[in-house]
Amino acid sequence: MNYTEKLVAEKSLKDDILCYWQMKGDIDEAVGINSRYLPKGQNLLIFNYGRDIEYMEATKFMYLNPRVIIVPAFATSRIINQKGKIDLFGISFIGDGLYKLMRLPMTKLVNHLTEDLRQKYENLHSELDGLDFPQKAIVAEKFLTDNINQNLNSPPLQQAIKAIHQTKGKITIGDIAKKVYVSERQLQRLFKTRIGISPKVYCKIIRVNNYIDFILSKDESVNWMELVVEYDYHDQPHLINEVKSIAKLSPKKLQSYRDTLYHRYTNE
């Protein structure tokens, strides 16, 4: 499996888009490969030019059709099965970039799409077909520049996300609300509407991703007490259970895998 990515170049998109990426390869038709994807607090728009993806467990992934897939932010790891020809081109959104592109709350995006919106992304799929990865990224970036509505910016949400990342998720919802001058209820609504998960879950995802980065950077055994102290936990089991709640794998098991942008791990 070959994976390629390109960070967004257009300055006006840097608060909304992390990167464009491509996954290509040929996998055994009979068995395929089961893969575990860990949440990053990002939304994805994926264009599929290969074999249909099979889901191994219930997800919030939504098909516009088998070729165009919207992946709202999810709270725990997902397992999918890929087999045969793999040819995916994806856009990784950060913050509420997907909301500003689709101009719909995440709940409506998952459950209700107009025919016009559906057709718009089917047309983009056709426009990208046959292009190489650099060309796809150029076409996608032009499309996003033309279609993301910057008038839908939410300074409180952007400030809240910044505060969460600066603290590596070690911040209470009350403290975030005070910092961005909104009520906790308003903060909950902003995250659920624009990203698809609560601020509490978003904080947990950021914390766990920081744990995982730490774990996977170590060649030797992890010093758990170092992590417990760093993230203000009462004890080691509390921290380990939080990793399991997101990854559905123990930290020890995660050490046997290595990181990619989407934390892709073969499921055993």
CATH of the domain at 72: 2.60.120
Neighbours of 222 (CB within 10 A): 17
Neighbours of 118 (CB within 10 A): 13
Q: What pLDDT is stored for residue 110 in this prediction?
A: 65
Within-domain flag for 262? no
Q: Quote the CA–CA distance of 75 and 248 in Å, as a whole number.
A: 11
How many folded domains does the chain comprise? Answer: 2
The identity of residue 42, as a single letter, is Q
Let me know: does 60 contact 86? Beta carbons within 8 Å: no
Question: Are 125 and 159 in a shared domain?
Answer: no
For 192-226, write each residue's pLDDT tens digit: 999 999 999 999 999 888 887 777 776 666 677 77
Let me know: does 152 contact 99? Beta carbons within 8 Å: yes
Tell me what percent of the residues of the chain surpass a pLDDT of 70.
85
For 113-144, write each residue's pLDDT tens digit: 788 888 999 999 999 999 999 999 999 999 99
Q: Tokens 């459950």 — which residue?
A: 111
Tell me what percent of the residues of the chain surpass a pLDDT of 90.
48
Q: What pLDDT is stored for residue 174 in this prediction?
A: 96
For 237-267, write each residue's pLDDT tens digit: 877 888 888 888 777 777 666 544 344 444 4
For 34-53, write each residue's pLDDT tens digit: 777 888 899 999 999 998 87
Question: Are 222 and 107 in a shared domain?
Answer: no
Q: What is the CATH number of the domain that holds 225?
A: 1.10.10.60
Let me know: does 62 contact 74? Beta carbons within 8 Å: no
For 88-103, write each residue's pLDDT tens digit: 999 999 999 999 999 9
> Which DSSP letter does residue 116 get?
H
Instruction: Name the residue with higher pLDDT: 163 or 70.
Output: 163
Last residue of a domain, one of 151, 181, 207: 151
Question: Are 147 and 34 in a shared domain?
Answer: yes
Let me know: does 157 contact 190? Beta carbons within 8 Å: yes
Question: Are 164 and 147 in a shared domain?
Answer: no
Question: Are 127 and 32 in a shared domain?
Answer: yes
Last residue of a domain, one of 136, 151, 166: 151
Within-domain flag for 265? no
Within-domain flag for 261? no
Question: Are 100 and 84 in a shared domain?
Answer: yes
Question: Which residues contact residue 143 at a Cβ distance below 8 angstroms, ignoring those fewer than 6 apart?
Answer: 124
Domain that holds residue 99: 2-151
> Which DSSP letter does residue 167 get?
T
Neighbours of 158 (CB within 10 A): 14
Question: Are 192 and 138 in a shared domain?
Answer: no
Last residue of a domain, one of 97, 125, 151: 151
